[in-house]
Amino acid sequence: MKYRIMEQTRPGGLLGQVYREVLVPAFPPEEIEGEAGIAETLEAGLGSLLVAVDDAGRPAGAAFGRWSEASRVQLLAYLAVKPGTRGHGLGGRLLHDAVEAWRERYDPCVIVAEVEAPDAPMAHEAYGDPRRRLAFYEAAGARVLDLPYFQPGIGSPARRVRGMLLLVLHADASFTQGRPDRLSGAPLRAFMEAYLESAEGAPPADWDAKALFKAIDRQGGIRMGRNRTGG
Ligand SMILES: CC(C)(COP(=O)(O)OP(=O)(O)OC[C@H]1O[C@@H](n2cnc3c(N)ncnc32)[C@H](O)[C@@H]1OP(=O)(O)O)[C@@H](O)C(=O)NCCC(=O)NCCS
């Protein structure tokens, strides 16, 4: 089967079908926001949805990214390929095309992605295998940030997702200070402050968030490399 990758930056189009048929089945409910949240981001001009469609125009995979203008950080919020199509290179193509499109359009400080730690339990086959998923990103050159990361809770801090890793898919050379294993924390601090507040409805005031920001502000930058848990 041949696939064509198309991008949409406005709501409507294939969004509803992609949300129902590709994204919802691929993520645990606590890791995915409502379709309205994605549509709002597109409406605000801050979203990019890349969709891989088959010959009949049906979506088989998608990547959705969200731009934070204030911090100049792009988040790959969702990447998924339908289960029957996995393992044939489509996820790799989507990731490559997304990173290229976003680098060119935004000239970001950093492009990041959230993934489950490789030792997370495999909750359901449809959600994929955390160990293979991290290997997929690392094969594409992603580096794991040494941070006590958690995914902000959708709607409330009580809904945070623990045991997540934050990956760097691309970093502008000016934020790696000439060292491939260190990332300057400044853009990430601004990004995480805005991300936590917008997802959870208020700025965080708890120890987990404090520990995260302390690690982001570490002198000399944030260490980044291959899977730090050794899984
Ligand atoms: C991760 C994912 C997008 C990869 O897409 P894909 O089209 O299968 O990837 P490719 O064919 O380009 O690359 C193959 C690699 O992807 C990974 N992969 C393949 N199937 C996978 C699965 N069921 N679970 C996790 N990773 C998988 C493996 O690392 C594989 O390499 P391997 O065959 O040497 O083990 C896809 O498996 C998926 O949708 N998983 C569920 C949702 C998800 O985990 N999204 C990422 C978090 S944002």
Sheet of strand 4-8, all strands in order from the earlier edge strand to the far edge: 4-8, 47-53, 59-68, 73-81, 110-116, 164-171, 143-145, 222-225, 182-183
109 located within any domain: yes
Q: Which of 24, 51, 85, 86 to mutate to test the pocket of ligand 1 (most atoms within 8 A of CB)?
A: 86
Per-residue pLDDT of the chain (231 residues; tens, 9 = 90+): 899 999 999 999 999 999 999 999 999 998 899 999 999 999 999 999 999 999 999 999 999 999 999 999 999 999 999 999 999 999 999 999 999 999 999 999 999 999 999 887 777 787 888 899 999 999 999 999 999 999 999 999 999 999 899 999 999 998 987 788 999 999 999 999 999 999 999 999 999 999 999 999 999 999 999 875 443
The Cα 35–Cα 87 span in angstroms is: 27
Q: Which residues line ligand 1 (CB under 6 A)?
A: 26, 78-81, 86-92, 113, 115, 127-129, 132-133, 135-136
The Cα 98–Cα 187 span in angstroms is: 20
176 located within any domain: yes
Whole-number Å distance, alpha carbon 67 to ligand 1 midpoint, is: 24
- Pick the atom of ligand 1 nearest to 116's CA: 47
Residue 199: give the domain boundaries: 4-225
231 located within any domain: no
101 located within any domain: yes
Structural tokens at position 107: 């000239």
Alpha-carbon 10 to chain mean position? 19
Q: Which residues contact 157 (CB under 8 A, 6 or more apart)?
A: 200, 204, 206
pLDDT at 111: 98
Q: What is the DSSP string of 145-182?
A: E-S---BPPSSSGGG-B-SEEEEEEEE-GGGTTT-TTE
CATH number where 151 lies: 3.40.630.30
Tally of domains within the chain:
1
pLDDT at 230: 43
- What pTM was estimated for this model as a whole? 0.94
Whole-number Å distance, alpha carbon 206 to ligand 1 midpoint, is: 34
Q: Whose CA is nearest to atom 5 of ligand 1?
A: 91
Q: Whose CA is nearest to atom 7 of ligand 1?
A: 91
